[in-house]
Structure 1
Amino acid sequence: MNHTVQTFFTPTSTDGPPNYEMLKDEHEVDVLGAPHNPVPPTSTVIHIQSQTSVLDHVIWSLFNTLFMNSCCLGFIAFTYSVKSRDRKMVGDLTGAQAYTSTTKCLNI
């Protein structure tokens, strides 16, 4: 709001001291509608990709293949870990996680 104070001299009589009145003017500005800009508003969209780390357990599977290869589970785990690594390189994180969980179960 814009407040202005104006002082006016109003003579009530010519033989006495001058009478001053304090007048207070208030002005309000109402905004009606949106501002009229010729340029339409623009928006910026930023896509943030989360770096999900999928472990492929290749070293663990290789160790189980060489030293604890009971019922060939180490070799099968190594095969699944290589498949998991391939899926991760292609960009299929869901497939890579499926192969990783299988590899982990076989290694345990």
Structure 2
Amino acid sequence: MSKEEHEVAVLGAPQGQAPATTTVISIPRETSVPDHIVWSLFNTVFMNWCCLGFVAFAYSVKSRDRKMVGDVTGAQSYASTAKCLNIWALVLGIFLTIGSIVLLVFAYLAAYQMSLEMMKNRGY
């Protein structure tokens, strides 16, 4: 290495000869797309009224597949559909479960009242 090459390496290129240029490298940041697969699995197993939990699970799996391929917009689309279906499955599941419990309590109370009347009419 000659003396001039050594000076250029240490000091850099001469400042007056060429305009300074910058290079911008845009690195795409990883966007986290939630696929809601655990929530969908919960709704499939426990709150599967009208099969909404199963359909949400299918959309969650599609979202995960799209995410693995690298299709972020497709993954987001499937994930938002899965989220909407999970919300509906959860709300419907809660309402229908509470309604079923209330209906069973009223049916039990009606049967209990009827049995008390029957015992009263027989003279017990």
TM-score by length of 1: 0.61
**Higher normalized helix content (fraction of residues):** 2
Number of matched pairs: 73
Tell me whether 1:82 sits opposite 2:61 in the alignment: yes
Query: Displacement, 1:50?
Result: 1.9
Displacement of 1:42 in angstroms is 4.4
Aligned residue in 2 for 1:16: none
C-alpha root-mean-square deviation of aligned residues, in Å?
1.7
With normalisation by structure 2, the TM-score equals 0.54
Higher strand share: 1
Structure ID, larger Rg: 1
Which residue of the other structure, out of 12, 25, 35, is the alignment partner of 1:56?
35
Note the residue ranges of structure 1 that are not aligned, 5 or more in a row.
1-34
Distance of 1:72 and 1:48 partners within structure 2: 41
Q: Report the secondary structure of 2:33's partner residue.
A: coil
Identity over the aligned pairs, expressed in percent?
A: 71
After the TM superposition, which segments of 4 or more aligned residues of structure 1 sit over 4 Å from their partners?
39-42
2 CA distance for matches of 1:97 and 1:82?
12
